[in-house]
């Protein structure tokens, strides 16, 4: 007969949140590595709406960041993109992201929130922190230059938080933006389609009004 619901393996969904201004190979390698190690069925990339951690900075329009994320992930059948954060007005809080993704998908889901290990350190300061560990597991990926060890996260529940070393990629969006601004190439730091999108829209050159100030 049909398997009972309790016997069906939950769908394992990774959530990769980020500003993605622009998305780069560091993000893609991290998502791919977590998907492999945690046997995820899918990773959904979620570009942030207003990134409150980046108050006072200029950030490209949501629609540009969303489209770059779509372009960058299009060739991977395990990667998708969600608009939940850019369509929700106001600041983006991880607790809302996770709840909205769960509501959007419904059903038998195991969620894995993927974040830079640097961000994990401050996770308890995030809004809704008390709820977070009931909603998802957290995977902190270590990036070059960020020295973090288990002792830094010993205050977090051990069964809900894992650190994972990903192949070293010293790429950041900040570096990508600075390179464009000073006329250096973006090639091979981000997917080809993203290089072309940045050029087509004139992003990071200061030459257009394609960015907004984070309040
Ligand atoms: P910025 O330089 O503007 O802060 P960023 O490169 O950190 O951008 P974000 O969009 O802020 O990119 O990052 C989204 C998530 O991806 C964060 O959790 C961040 O820690 C992680 N991340 C960013 N770059 C890397 C990398 N090279 N390797 C692994 N994880 C990364
Ligand atoms: Mg960052």
Tokens of 140: 């902190």
Closest CA to 135 of 161, 107, 99: 99
CB 138 within 8 A of CB 160: yes
* Residue of 17, 18, 56 best suited for mutating to test ligand 1, as the one with most atoms within 8 Å of CB: 18
Which ligand does the CA of 28 lie closest to?
Answer: 1
Q: Is the CB of 148 inside a 6 Å radius of any atom of ligand 1? A: no
Does residue 175 form part of some domain? no
**What are the tens digits of pLDDT across the range 92-124?**
889 999 999 999 998 899 999 999 887 777 776
Would residue 199 count as lying in a domain?
Answer: no
Q: Quick check: pTM over 0.90?
A: yes
CA distance 55 to 105: 31
pLDDT, tens digit, 9 for 90 and up, residues 152-207: 777 778 888 898 989 878 899 999 999 999 999 999 999 999 999 999 999 999 86
- Unique residue bearing structure tokens 């190439």: 185
Confidence (pLDDT) at 144: 73
1 Cα–ligand 2 center, Å: 49
Q: What is the DSSP letter of 149?
A: -
In a domain, 123, yes or no: yes
pLDDT at 3: 63
CATH of the domain at 129: 3.40.50.620
Residue 57 domain-assigned?
Answer: yes
For 61, how many CA atoms within 13 A lie in the half-sphere containing its CB? 10
The answer to whether the beta carbons of residues 43 and 11 sit under 8 Å apart is no
What is the pLDDT, as a whole number, of residue 76? Answer: 98
Domain ranges, residue 138: 8-170
- 50 is a domain residue: yes
Q: Is residue 161 part of a domain?
A: yes
198 within some domain: no
Asked if residue 214 belongs to a domain, the reply is no
Under 8 Å between Cβ of 27 and 18:
yes
- What DSSP designation does 115 have? E
pLDDT attached to residue 117: 81
What's the complex ipTM?
0.97
Ligand nearest to C-alpha 179: 1
What does the pLDDT look like over 43-88, one tens digit per residue? 999 999 877 777 777 899 999 999 999 999 999 999 999 999 999 9
Indicate the number of domains in the chain. 1
Q: What is the pLDDT of residue 150?
A: 66
> For a substitution probing ligand 1, which of 22, 27, 81 has the most ligand atoms within 8 Å of its CB?
27
């Amino acid at each position: 007969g049909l398997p009972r619901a309790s016997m069906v393996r939950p769908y394992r969904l990774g959530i990769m949140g980020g500003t993605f201004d622009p998305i780069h190979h560091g993000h893609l390698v991290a998502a791919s590595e977590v998907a492999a190690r945690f046997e995820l069925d899918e990773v959904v990339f979620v570009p942030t709406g207003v990134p409150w951690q980046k108050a006072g900075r200029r950030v490209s329009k949501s629609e540009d960041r969303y489209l770059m994320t779509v372009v960058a992930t299009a060739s991977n059948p395990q990667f998708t993109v969600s608009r939940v954060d850019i369509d929700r007005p106001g600041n983006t809080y991880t607790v809302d992201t996770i709840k909205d993704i769960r509501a959007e998908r419904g059903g038998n889901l195991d969620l894995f929130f993927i974040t830079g290990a640097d961000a994990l350190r401050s996770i308890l300061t995030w809004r809704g922190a008390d709820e977070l560990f009931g909603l998802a597991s957290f995977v902190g990926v270590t990036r070059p230059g960020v020295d973090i060890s288990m002792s830094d996260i010993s205050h977090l529940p051990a069964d809900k938080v894992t650190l994972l070393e990903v192949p070293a990629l010293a790429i950041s969006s900040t570096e990508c933006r600075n390179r464009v601004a000073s006329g250096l190439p973006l090639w091979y730091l981000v997917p080809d389609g993203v290089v072309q999108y940045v050029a087509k829209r004139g992003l990071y050159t200061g030459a257009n009004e394609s960015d907004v100030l984070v309040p």
